[in-house]
Amino acid sequence: MKLRELLKDIPVLETTADPELEITGVVYDSRKAAPGVLFVAVSGFASDGNRFIPMAMEKGAAAVVTAKRPEGEVPYVLVSSDRLALALIAANYYDHPARKMTIIGVTGTNGKTSVTLLVKHVLEVCLGAKVGLIGTMENLIGTESIPTERTTPESFELQGLFARMYEAGCSHVVMEVSSHALALERVGGIRFQVAAFTNLTEDHLDFHKTMEAYCDAKAELFRRCDRAVVNLDDSYGPRMLSGCCCPVVTTSVREQADIQARNVELHSQGIRFTAAREGETVAVELPIPGRFTVHNALTVLGIALSLGIPMEACARALSGAKGVKGRIEVVPTPNEPYTVLIDYAHTPDGLENILRSVRDFCRGRVIAVFGCGGDRDPMKRPIMGHIGVGLSDFAVITSDNPRTEEPMAIIRDILKGVNQEDGEYIVIEDRRKAIRYAMDIGKKDDIIILAGKGHETYQDIGGRKYHLDEREEVTAHLSEMRK
């Protein structure tokens, strides 16, 4: 592929590279450089890709794309944004696969995974479509699962994944769009046919610094879409709306909105409500418990409506949907008087949502097992401590993924937010022992919530991942108790 073809529609400030150069590939990691490749020097946080230009050239790179003029005799292309250039080069390299499919983006702190999986299900049922999914838990091409390391892949891998989905026959792609992906141009150059906002709560402030900056990073998605769906029940909904430059469908349980939930019923097996829009009412039933499921269902209805799918058809499809692994997931505990739920709640809002939702249908005590991740926003730790102890009847404070931090240091941060009047709790650093303790004190009609790990089957301690599947831990302890 010619260099000029890769640079199509990319503003170039200056260049010393021959536009007719034949390029054999594109890399942004100098270790992967090879003869004939185009090396995109990305200015990262841990390291600056420009430092590795000599290494890439030694390995035979044909030219360099950079936002900093390199030293020496290096064929280069100077651009204003190296990250946006990488995204646009990737789209050119793969022949713009996103333009050939309907792309749906979902952003927000919580609910993205549930909404994207439900939208995928609705599209498959209502349209008979083959759907690609890009998300936190996994990437899917139809039913084929592809492991993922981050919510939104780097732009070059993302375009490659789009190409793979298109080649496999996907007509639609529904994806989680993280604030990092927007701020770092991983979705640069992509036009979304529909974009949706779930909610915004404290998270990633180590990166964004303020909630306003975090909100504005996500709001950028609504400048890149044809239609938008916005949850008005979230306090940041109006700020998101102000960034929309397209037709919007609003949703709400409490406020006047384009789609409103009425007559909400919550029970241990799921939720029911009536969706009302412009005089039309549709009964919605979803076999996933929790108040937040109502909000997620409204967002799915809004997305479906934006794609031309009638509310009634969408509601029928939702009635046959399954729960999401690690999202208010019921773990089998045969012959035990209590219930164990696993939920990915790892933010203050996520923890509050799951505890309040379970309280809606719990007839016994709510027992919360939770911690906070290391190497992440430390400001949310005391907030989660206050919520976790205050909204449960008994809390077991433990480790989540401490990563490179000392586990007890994280727990001490959590305890800073716990007041004497909040409630009863115990500290058990070892998460396996914490789960066992919660089960040992479980009584009739109690609900034990294992919060934070969700779908994950590992625990990151000291920067090393150890196997830990909480479903296996529950089953193992039940076996131990019955010996």
In percent, the amount of the chain with pLDDT more than 90 equals 76
The domain segmentation of the chain, as residue ranges, is 3-85, 97-319, 329-481
**Which amino acid does the sequence have at 351?**
L
Are domains 3-85 and 329-481 of this chain identical in fold? no
Q: What is the pTM of this model?
A: 0.80
pLDDT score of 239 = 83
Helices (DSSP H) in 226-279: which residue ranges?
A: 237-242
pLDDT score of 202 = 53
Classify domain 97-319 by CATH architecture.
Answer: 3-Layer(aba) Sandwich (3.40)
Tens of pLDDT, residues 204-230: 455 545 777 777 777 888 889 999 999
Three-state helix/strand/coil letters over 248-262: EEEEECCCCCCEEEE
pLDDT score of 291 = 86
pLDDT score of 204 = 47
Q: Are 131 and 155 in contact (CB under 8 A)?
A: no
Instruction: Tell which residue, 409, 405, 478, 399, has the closest CA to residue 434.
Output: 399
Regions of the chain short of the pLDDT cut 50 = 204, 208
Please report the sign of the dihedral spanned by the C-alpha atoms of residue 230, residue 233, residue 238, residue 240.
Answer: negative
Provide the β-strand partners of residue 2. Answer: 22
Q: Are 40 and 85 in contact (CB under 8 A)?
A: yes
Q: What single string gives the DSSP state of each residue in 15-79?
A: E-S-TTPBP-EEESSGGG--TTEEEE--B-SS-BGGGGHHHHHHTT--EEEESSPPSSS--EEE-
Provide the β-strand partners of residue 425. Answer: 395
pLDDT score of 350 = 87
Q: At what angle do helices 348-361 and 291-306 cross, to 10 degrees?
A: 110
CATH, domain range 329-481: 3.90.190.20
Q: Return the CATH fold of 3-85.
A: 3.40.1390
pLDDT score of 100 = 98
